Amino acid sequence: MKNKILVVDDNPDLLEVISIFLGGEGYDVVAVGSGAEALEKFDDTFDLVILDVMMPGISGYKVCSEIREKSFVPILFLTAKTLDSDKAMGFSSGGDDYLSKPFSYNELLARVKALLRRFYTYNGKTKEDDSHITISDLVINKNYNEVFKGDTEITLTDIEYKILLLMATHRKKIFTIQNIYESIWDEPYYYASNNTVMVHIRKLRTKIEDNPQNPKYIKTVWGKGYRIE
C-alpha cells in the first residue's frame, strides 16, 4: 500500500513539480493550493503533510495547528523564512520538520522518508502492517526494499534483503537452511547449499546486528535453523 501525502502550496508550479517528483517515487500525492483546501481534504488516510508556511487566507501555521488537534500525522514545513523565531513558531504549532526554500528534491525525499520512518517506528500506525515491518529499532520498508536501523539506512544485497524479509514476515517461525534456500533461490536444495545460506546469514548479521556473535534479530535455533522472534 502506497504512503499517502498531502502537499499544500500556493505556488502552482512548485506544487506540480513536487507532486510529479513524489508520485514518481511511488507515493500517492494529493496536491492543494490553499490552507482552506488542505483542511477540507485532510483525513486520517494521510501519512504525511508537506505544508507551505506563507499562504493567503489560512497560514501554514494555522493549518498545522488545526490538523494537530485531531492527528499525529508528521508535518513538514516548506518556507522561505529561515529565522530561528520562524522555525520556533513552526515547531510550536505542531510541525515535525522544516525545509527552507529553495531546496533540492533529493533533500525533500530524504526528509519525507525520515519522517515516515519515525512515525511508523514510534507511533505504531496500523498501515505499518502493510508497508513496514518494525523489529525493535530495525525498520523494513517493503514498498521500497529499504532497511533502516534507527535513522541509518542499511545497504543489503538483493539476497540478504530477501532472507531478512522472509524471516521478518514470519516472526517466530523456524526456517531450516533448506527452507531458506528453496524460498530465496527458488531451486531444489542440495547439501552444498548449506554453506551458501550460512555465508549470507553471516554477512547479513554483520550489517544489522550490534554484535553478530550475539545476535538480537536473527537467532540461531541449534539443530533446526534460524528465526526472528
Q: Which residues contact 104 (CB under 8 A, 6 or more apart)?
A: none
Q: For domain 155-228, give its CATH number from 1.10.3720.10, 1.10.10.10, 3.10.129.10, 3.60.15.10.
A: 1.10.10.10
Q: What are the strands, taking DSSP E only, across 16-131? A: 28-32, 48-52, 75-79, 97-100
CB-count burial class (<10 Å; 0-12, 13-18, 19+) for 6: buried
pLDDT tens column, 166-224: 999 888 999 999 999 999 998 888 888 889 999 999 999 999 999 999 999 999 999 99
Q: How far is CA 186 from the centre of its chain?
A: 29
**What is the CATH code for 4-130?**
3.40.50.2300
pLDDT tens column, 55-108: 888 888 888 889 988 888 899 988 876 655 555 665 667 788 888 888 888 899
Report yes or no on whether pTM surpasses 0.85. Answer: no
Q: How many CA atoms lie less than 13 Å away from 139 in the CB half-sphere?
A: 26
